[in-house]
A and B are shown apart, each in its own frame.
Chain A
Amino acid sequence: MKRKVAIIGGGQTVHASRRHDVNQGEMVNEAVRAALADGRMTMDDIDAVLLGNMEFFEGCHLTDCWLADATGAYGKPGLKITTGGTVGATTIVAGAHHIASGLFDRVLCIGFEKQEEGDSSAILSGVAHPLYGRSLAGAAVGYFAMMGASYMQAFGAREEHSAMVAVKARQNARKNPYAHLKLDITIQDVFDSKMLAYPIRLLDMCPTSNGACAMILADEKTARERCEKPVWIRATETAHNEQFELNWRDVTNTRPIFSRVCAEKLYKKLGVENPATFFDVFEVYEPATWAELVWYEDLGLCKRGEGFHLIEEGQTEINGPIPVNPSGGVLSTNCIGASAMLRIWEAALQIRNDAGEHQVPKDINWALTTAYGGTNWTVMTALSKKWEDS
């Protein structure tokens, strides 16, 4: 990128399954105010406002236009991005490009979803082609169920392993005051939860959350002048997958797919040889437990088919050598338009040493985040504490 880009502020709402106390605009404004307070700014300091949101989930067309006062976009340049589950990350990427272009110095990026106002699983079935697969689409649950069945059959993992991921996420969430599902659960509790679609049980899936996240990005001069702990966006990468070949369902396939291709490109940009040691913390987008295990492998944190050993050995716990999702992740909080931005904001908090109770107990210099959208695509970002290191 032509100019350095820093995260100089951010904030999130409390995430919950019911937010009848606020309308969509009021909820978004909570996150915007939190971000401005964190960045010690007012809207007057902001050059442009970018919104990420999937309007079908709220039954509202042109949410960016409706919410122009709540987002602060009134009278300012801006645009709206809609790339599904990745949209929060795509919005940060768009913000980074705005800063790097030299046209803007301070950009406010917002992601939100108020899922309670629509019917999310019917809408997720709408991801399927209208004429091919929509009537029997299993929403996200069916997709991840097939991934889990395929993973167990191929690699000899057991249902305990996915349950361990479920427990880790909710126990971490208990340390995160903003998380939605702060559950003190055990592996047995996961097994006792309702079977949705074999082998996916209720506690294997992310919740349906309402919430918003907002972040302020800035150029180097602004960052150094106005921010004590800027976090630098070092690289971003996006990769999609073709429409009808949903390769994540069959974990044994060896063809190039979005997740591995994206990681490879990102690592090449940064010269990463061993991601498990290069990065100090990971925030990955795992709508279901099995997806976290596949992320371990696709990110190269272990060999193919060995992801379940990482969770079994406790390596990805907050105090393990490869901490993954100390925030509780998407399994604990999923407000679709905000979820991918929350990964980046949580990673930034870790780098700033501001994560509070869920702070990873070691020096965090580099963080990697992933996002996950639709019929398979991802946006990855790499963040660092200092610009000089590499």
Chain B
Amino acid sequence: MEIEFVNIPMVVDVPYRFAAGSYMARFLIELRDNGKFFGIQCPSCGRVQMPPRIVCAACHIKNGEWIELSPTGTLMGFSIVHLPLTDPTTGLPHKTPYTYGIVRLDGAYSTIEHFIDVEPDIQKVRVGMRVRAILRPREERTGDLNDILHFAPIGEA
């Protein structure tokens, strides 16, 4: 006997409105209004953490001083992505191939993930490369991580 399989198609669409919280809010506002990156320093171990957060996880105490960071940094790792992954903020796939990497801003302990503006070619990108954050024009910035367009190589080719 032939069995017919029945599938019920369904989109589960749950709307969210995430509160940034005071630490992340200040980070996003500085980025949007002044184009500046801020980290927060643990008074115990001294790590400058980005994004800023309430507690230093390693020391489990409240983070203290706000530190302005340079928009330049070093590429610590990267990947050239060929898989059209979905951008959950738009629901659309990213256009492939693109390069995405982790950057340690000068003076920061943490790294930040973002797109890297290089030709998606393994010969053109390397760990240790110097990069600079390229922001959207002030009037286009909305106060989220997309205010950073990408990181672009500096100094060398």
Contact = CB atoms under 8 A, between A and B. Distances in A.
Interface stretch (A96-104, A118-126, A170-178): A118-126
B122 A150 contact: no
Q: For chain B, give the interface size range.
A: 35 or more
B87 A21 contact: no
Given A136-B100, A196-B83, A131 B88 contact: no
A21 B102 contact: no
Given A125-B88, A132-B145, A196 B82 contact: yes
Contact of B12 (A59, A138, A197, A243): A59
B89 A134 contact: yes
Nearest to A119: B86
Contact of B10 (A59, A125, A136): A59
Contacts, number: 120
A150 B86 contact: no
Interface residues of A, number: 39
A250 B110 CA distance: 12
Nearest to B148: A136
B82 A249 contact: no
A252 to B, nearest CB: 9
A313 interface: no
B1 interface: no
B32 interface: no
B97 to A, nearest CB: 8
Interface in A2-28: 20-21
B53 interface: yes
Contacts of A167: none
A315 interface: no
Contacts of A134: 88-89, 145
B20 A131 contact: yes
B24 interface: yes
The binding surface of chain B is classed by DSSP as loop
Given A20-B7, A136-B100, A136-B145, A149 B87 contact: no
A288 to B, nearest CB: 12
B44 to A, nearest CB: 14
Given A59-B12, A131-B18, A132-B145, A146 B88 contact: no
A21 B5 contact: yes
A1 interface: no
B82 A135 contact: no
B110 A138 contact: no
Interface in A108-146: 119, 121-122, 125-126, 129-139, 141-142, 145-146
Given A59-B12, A136-B100, A153-B127, A131 B144 contact: yes
Given A149-B78, A195-B80, A198-B79, 13 more contacts: A20-B7, A121-B83, A133-B145, A134-B89, A135-B144, A136-B94, A137-B85, A149-B79, A153-B127, A196-B83, A197-B82, A198-B80, A249-B77
- 6 closest A-B pairs by beta carbon, nearest first, are A145-B79, A242-B57, A146-B77, A198-B80, A59-B12, A135-B89
30 contacts: A21-B3, A59-B12, A122-B86, A125-B85, A130-B16, A130-B18, A131-B18, A135-B144, A135-B145, A135-B146, A136-B100, A136-B145, A137-B85, A141-B79, A146-B78, A147-B77, A150-B76, A150-B77, A194-B82, A195-B80, A196-B82, A197-B80, A198-B79, A244-B110, A245-B49, A245-B57, A245-B109, A245-B110, A250-B76, A250-B102
